[in-house]
Amino acid sequence: MKWRTILLQYCFLFITCVLTALEAVPIDIDKTKVKNTQPVDSAKIEPPSGRLSKELDLVSHHVRTKLDELKRQEVARLRMLIKAKLDSLQDTGIDHHALLKQFDHLNHLNPDKFESTDLDMLIKAATSDLEHYDKARHEEFKKYEMMKEHERREYLKTLNEEKRKEEESKFEEMKKKHENHPKVNHPGSKDQLKEVWEEADGLDPNDFDPKTFFKLHGDRFDININIYFFYVNSDGFLDEQELEALFTKELEKVYDPKNEEDDMVEMEEERLRMREHVMNEVDTNKDRLVTLEEFLKATEKKEFLEPDSWETLDQQQFFTEEELKEYENLISVQEIELKKKADELQKQKEELQRQHEQLEAQKLEYHQVVVQQMEQKKLQGISPSVPGGESKIQSHI
């Protein structure tokens, strides 16, 4: 992951140079004149990697040289890892190139030069990382909800019957209060986008136009690079962050951080579900970007005009009783293991305390013997500093 990040950072310099040769796009749009804006011709839109590969020769020599150097270092690092693995297995019959294929973020067949293929592979690898990240987020959310329910039930066990009924009544009341919210529009539907058009963009809903809407929210000039993903968003692309921003109004209907009954962790899960749903419906080439062409095709579908009702999280069951029981058993096993470790640590602590007390007792005894010997020497008229006196004391001890 570290080397992917370094390579992507230098890709940023690469893209900065390329952007000087790309078609200019408006950075900001006067919304009072937006109806006169001509939307981007979808036939001219190309995937980011395809456009960048055409401009590869425009990159400065310094940036290209650095990218080549980083690629050589990364390939060398991977080969060293493979060699170490082979040495540990003492198996020299394995093909190095076959092993290198497991590292899917660079073209190892050309180890000396960074090409557009490497950029495509980096983007695909980072996209795969993001997909795994989204999946992990769903799993963590499910565990979060099961832990909430587990703790609630455990707390009820500590109450008497009267208090338990009060607590359960309060729980049901909060649940109903949360469920009592305005209708949530289907994400990506015409109604949902028109609401953004009117409330967020401040435009007349009767003038709603999909092309203009896309240009308002997708035609921005920004470059984003992070540890997982890198994309160029200009001249007609909606990325995942921009999509999620479109759902804010819908989420505000259901969740308010000031309300005790609204869980902000659930809000982020709802946002993720909305984004994944729209991407699954619109992003036909699965590159995690929505082009104008993909967007307009989606607006022609029946689901855009007459969508099914959107089921919010409060209408769904996150887990079954069997899954909760299994999770509680897992927690129980973990608690037993933690208790064992705690008991072992307590025993070690007690043993260390015993040894400390023993050493303190020995130290006190040693001190008493030394004092006694010195008193005896004084009574015999022998100075403790006489040569050999110290050794005699030590010998006696």
Q: How many domains does the chain have?
A: 3
Which of 108, 128, 148 delimits the end of a domain? 128
Domain match, 114 and 189 both = no
- Rounded Cα–Cα distance for residues 24 and 33 (Å): 19
∠ CA 350-356-361, rounded to 5°: 125
Domain match, 208 and 335 both = no
Give bridge partners of residue 224 from the DSSP assignment.
Answer: 231
Q: What is the pLDDT of residue 386?
A: 46
Residue 225 three-state SS:
strand
Asked whether residue 200 is assigned to any structural domain, the reply reads yes
- Rounded Cα–Cα distance for residues 365 and 357 (Å): 12
Residue 107 three-state SS:
coil
Domain match, 91 and 185 both = no
pTM attached to this predicted model: 0.66
Give 313's contacts (C-beta < 8 A, 6+ positions apart): 266, 269, 270, 273
Q: Which pLDDT tens digits describe the chain residue by residue (397 residues)? A: 555 555 555 554 444 444 433 333 333 334 344 344 344 343 343 444 455 555 556 667 788 888 888 888 888 887 787 777 777 666 555 565 666 566 677 777 788 888 888 878 887 888 888 889 999 999 999 999 999 999 999 999 999 999 999 999 999 999 999 999 999 999 999 999 999 999 989 999 999 999 999 988 875 433 333 323 333 344 468 888 889 999 999 999 999 999 999 999 999 999 999 999 999 999 998 888 899 999 999 999 988 998 888 999 999 899 999 999 999 999 999 999 999 999 999 999 999 999 999 999 999 989 888 988 888 888 887 655 544 544 444 444 4
DSSP string, 153-175: HHHHHTS-HHHHHHHHHHHHHHH
Asked whether residue 119 is assigned to any structural domain, the reply reads yes
- Rounded Cα–Cα distance for residues 249 and 57 (Å): 44
Domain match, 253 and 119 both = no
> Which domain, by its residues, includes 89?
50-128
Domain match, 353 and 220 both = no
Domain match, 258 and 346 both = no
Nearest to 232 by CA among 45, 43, 4, 28: 45
Domain match, 315 and 328 both = no
Domain match, 304 and 174 both = yes
Rounded to a whole number of angstroms, the CA Rg of the chain reads: 34
Domain match, 283 and 341 both = no
